[in-house]
Amino acid sequence: MPRLPKETEQLFYLYLPGIGKIFPLENMGVKLMTIGLVWFLTMINFRSTNSGDRVQIIFSVLKISAMLFLVFGIFLFGNGSFAHFAQRSPHGGVTLLLAIVTATSGAFWGYEGWNNITFMAGEIKNPQRNIPLGLLLGLFVVIVLYSLLNLAYVYALPIDAIASSSFVGSDAASSAFGFGAGALIALLVMVSTFGATNGNVLATARVTFAMAQEKRFFESIGRVHPKFKTPGNALLLHGVWTSLLILSGSFDMLTDMLIFVTWFFYGLSALGVMVLRKKMPDTHRPYKTWGYPFVPIAFVSISFTFLILTLYNDISNYLNGVTPLVNSLFGLVLTAIGIPLYFYFKRKETKAIIE
């Protein structure tokens, strides 16, 4: 589908006071294709949990293979230099700090989903052993892969070229594969996107499903499909909500918003561990927190430092006309929509206990 002219895409917009503008018509062709992909994967997971698992395994293997092929191709056939590793950044001070925060947001997106296995604890055999093992193994693989990719990029391109590049992967791959680099990177992105989308469809609906079964969300969302034995209604609800989010604005906006909101809750979760251990010291704890309390304190500190710097950077970019929207604030507003629902179901639960 051909893309509409930018002027046409921005004819219609929604203005949110104090937050900025969102353009629902922007990049509509890609958005419609993305919505189609979301619903295709939703239906796979709707009909069978095993099918969703198999899709995830296949595309994870393809993604890892493609990344390793790219890394070794750049090092073996590229025209890079190890001297690039000794180059200094031309920036410093606050400018460098904010640039690192911006880059970190993108890096966090690469790691996003690291905790999704915990959403499926009820469907995992021996979760006390296999969940920590899966988390550690998954993080180790991702750290190694992304470290190798970044080393390959720095080998292929000098620091100035990396800073000015709009698509570092493609530019780095060009040094090894020439004109075929664009097709290779496009294939890698498609495989990665397909696998990441399926992983999120597979896992996140389980949270809403569990909330509904515990009477903290609408009862119908907690029903198991009578034929397919999947959380069908939860999957459909997430498909609808995901489609609306895709239409709401740009993919960059959604990515920045997601990273900000998720790390806000990651920080609160780690803080909650310390609060609960203080309030309920004698409660049985089947899962251990290594290095307590130093590890949670470090995690909370890093999380909220990242959030504060991100919020400052987003507001600065908006005020300076760099971006049309304060992405982090928009994420907080969307999250706040759930607050009335929380109090509604909390009141409903209290009322049921009294009766």
**DSSP string across 194-241:** HHHHHHHHHHHHHHHHHHHHTTSS-GGGGPPPTTT-S-HHHHHHHHHH
Write down the mean pLDDT value for the chain. 85
Which H or E run contains 16?
strand 14-16
pLDDT (0 to 100) of residue 6: 64
Distance CA 296, CA 271 (A): 7
The two structure tokens encoding residue 200: 């999120």
Residue 256 has pLDDT above 80, yes or no: yes
pLDDT digits (tens, 9 = 90+) for 226-239: 998 899 999 999 99
Which H or E run contains 76?
helix 49-77
pLDDT (0 to 100) of residue 4: 58
Compute, in degrees rounded to 10, the torsion defined by CA atoms 124, 129, 131, 132. 180
Question: How big is the chain by its Cα radius of gyration, in Å?
Answer: 22
Residue 90 has pLDDT above 80, yes or no: no
Distance CA 319, CA 326 (A): 9
pLDDT (0 to 100) of residue 355: 66
* Ranges 5-14, 107-116, 284-293: which has the least confidence: 5-14
First to last CA, the chain: 57
Inter-residue contact 142 to 108 (CB < 8 Å): no
Collapse the DSSP code of 108 into the 3-class scheme (helix H, G, I; strand E, B; otherwise coil) and give the result: helix
The two structure tokens encoding residue 26: 């922007």
Distance CA 334, CA 248 (A): 11
| Across 241-267, average pLDDT | 89
Q: Where are the domains of the chain?
A: 1-20+96-112+250-355, 27-80+128-248
> Of 19-28, 73-82, 171-180, 265-274, where does the model show the most confidence?
265-274
Q: Torsions phi, psi of 210, nearest 5?
A: -65, -40
16 DSSP β-pair partners: 20
| Across 49-67, average pLDDT | 85
Share of residues in the chain with pLDDT > 70 (%): 95
Collapse the DSSP code of 21 into the 3-class scheme (helix H, G, I; strand E, B; otherwise coil) and give the result: strand
pLDDT (0 to 100) of residue 93: 67
| Across 213-225, average pLDDT | 91
Share of residues in the chain with pLDDT > 90 (%): 32
Distance CA 39, CA 46 (A): 10
pLDDT digits (tens, 9 = 90+) for 263-311: 999 999 999 999 999 999 888 887 778 888 999 999 999 999 989 988 9
Confidence class of residue 2 from pLDDT cuts 50, 70 and 90? low
Residue 85 has pLDDT above 90, yes or no: no
pLDDT (0 to 100) of residue 294: 93
Per-residue b/e over 145-174, b at no fewer than 16 CB within 10 Å? Answer: beebbeebbbbbbeeeebeeeeebbbbbbb
| Across 108-130, average pLDDT | 78
Which H or E run contains 20?
strand 20-22
| Across 208-217, average pLDDT | 90
pLDDT digits (tens, 9 = 90+) for 301-347: 999 998 998 898 899 989 998 889 999 999 999 999 999 999 999 88
The residue written with tokens 């949270």 in the block is 207
Confidence class of residue 135 from pLDDT cuts 50, 70 and 90? confident
Which pairs count as long-range contacts for 316-325, CB under 8 Å and 24+ apart, including other chains?
316/98, 318/20, 323/20, 324/20, 324/21, 324/22, 324/23, 325/16, 325/19, 325/20, 325/21, 325/22, 325/249, 325/253
pLDDT digits (tens, 9 = 90+) for 183-193: 777 788 788 88
Task: Report the helix count and the strand count for the chain, using DSSP H and E.
Answer: 13, 2
pLDDT (0 to 100) of residue 295: 92
